[in-house]
Structure 1
Amino acid sequence: MIVLGILCLIIMVFMLLNYRYKNSFYYQNLVEFENRPVRKIYWSDKIKMVNLGSVHARFAFQYFKNEGVSLARAPQSLYYDIQLLENYSKHIPRDTIVVAFFPIGLFALKNYTSLNQIAKYYYELPKDRIEKYSLLKYIIAVKYPILYAGKKAIYSIVNRKIDSEWSYQNCVVSEDRLKKIAQEHCDVWKKQFQLENLTDADTTHLIPCFEYNRKLLERLVDKCKAQGWKLVFVTGPMARQMNEMFSEKFLHNFYYSNFRDIAEKNNVLHLDYRLDDTFQDDNNLFWNGVDWLSETGRRVFMEKLENDLYKNGYWKGDQP
């Protein structure tokens, strides 16, 4: 009886901590950061645009007039871009603009595998669209997320208020840290993709990933053609401190060469804002100062994007 009592107590404490964790400021901000739908997505018949993408796209797209839906999730691979788009295809009318937003490292990534990176899909996608679906992972991800929280489980006890990154209107990083933030991002990519540098590094070991993602991209092109959607490729803006980390030669081999020929062959518009003058030296357009847009930056970016789509004959109706 004593053992049973102790076991019941442990279960009760666990359930309480899990409940507190799911309702903590940290967890709610994580859900918002990921752009995980907390309720069923509302698909209006007035929707003109749907965007895909990872973290950069999550902070780039905000439909202030409710004329679009963001399927960007943070983080997200091209594989799940397509899974989400296909899953919601019945809600997307013909002539809708589909924006495929390509972060710099997209084509070197085959897929995310850790539960903390894919848990969001267990809330949103049917199991046949989740790679290596597991019932155990579903239970942990949806019912008991404290089990993969790691050190962050402390927020089930210390529930201090944390500002949401989505709410930042301007840069929250001091000017003297901007280059350090840019370097930290690049260091993550170098480690993740086994690169010596981002200027003249050998990328031949990444060819299998490049080929895998090119096939997915062809699938995306074919899907959009079949549905009558207007596909657009977009490269997002970066601040000068970020752009200085790359050479153009490296970016050609690592990034642009993976989709430019596909765009040309299929007459897909590519809008490139990476070196756009507006974003080079105004760090307040990025909440992290270098590549994740603030609310102010989103307004500027969305206005530019919608006007460019209008000029190229993609945007229906009056000029934005």
Structure 2
Amino acid sequence: MAGPLTKVGVVRNPRSHANRLRTGASADARPNGVHWVEPETPAALAEDMRRFAAEGVDLVVIDGGDGTVREVLSALPEAYGEHPPALAVLASGKTNILALDLGAGREWSLEAVLRRAAEDEPAYKTRTPLQVSWADPARPAVWGFVFGLGAFVRATEMSQSVHRMGAYHSLSVALILAGAAIGTLFGGRRDQWRQGVPLTAHLDGEALRAGERFLLMATTLKRLPFGLKPFGPPTDAMKVLDVDAPPRRLLAALPTLLRGLDAPWLGRNGYRRREAAHLTVSLAASVIVDGEVFAGGEIAVRRGPPMRFLAP
């Protein structure tokens, strides 16, 4: 869409890490002409998004962390249908993986977003979120950028302790990865880090190898903290990392995987990378979508439609 963005709506999470630290008049400044909401519940957010759509808001600024991004993305399809607005992300959370992928650092403020939106031809980056849905029709679909289970759930739960230590953003990711690696490498065969998750899974209709999984993750992001590339070279596809339990030769596999490299012995030892349009899993254990724990079940993960993000 050519031309400047004319109606801007801000979804601000006042409980996000950076917003809680901001005090004074500047923290509460609301530019004239900007639609501003701070919803307390998912239902309130859904109503706000319907009102944004009815009022013609064509740029939604998400002021929060990855959880706030997930909640806004999940509310957009019902509100906007097949014509979602442009988006911008302010890195205000404890973790901001999408903002990192987009190159939206701390200097990417609301003022900077509004200046870019007013340009005659604003620059965009396109990202494709994952749609995570359950067979149970009573459970609404969730939209995000990182889906995972197994050791990824335990690592995410560990993040709460890391955040209480005062570590956030890329530092928290580094500490979580280090803790998970140490626990897995030095734990016994029955250690919780090495235990697998029983599941059945299909990738584009093809049944994956039967057996327990140490880790199963999917993402459409291109850039991860510290240049890590566990899914291989960056692409626009849904990338899947599938690791058997218990993980074998992990000490040798970690540097190869994290650098995005490949080696024939990885597959022989239960480390598999794939690209796909559709992943289905059936499991009783919990899963993670963009940092939030969700109950398991019959789950489908697929690429959603591309979304435009205002480029820093």
- Place the TM-score, normalised by the shorter chain, in its bin: under 0.3
Name whichever structure is richer in helix by fraction.
Answer: 1
Tell which has more relative contact order, 1 or 2 (C-alpha 8 A, sep 6+): 1
After TM superposition, the score normalised by the length of structure 2 is 0.26
After TM superposition, the score normalised by the length of structure 1 is 0.26
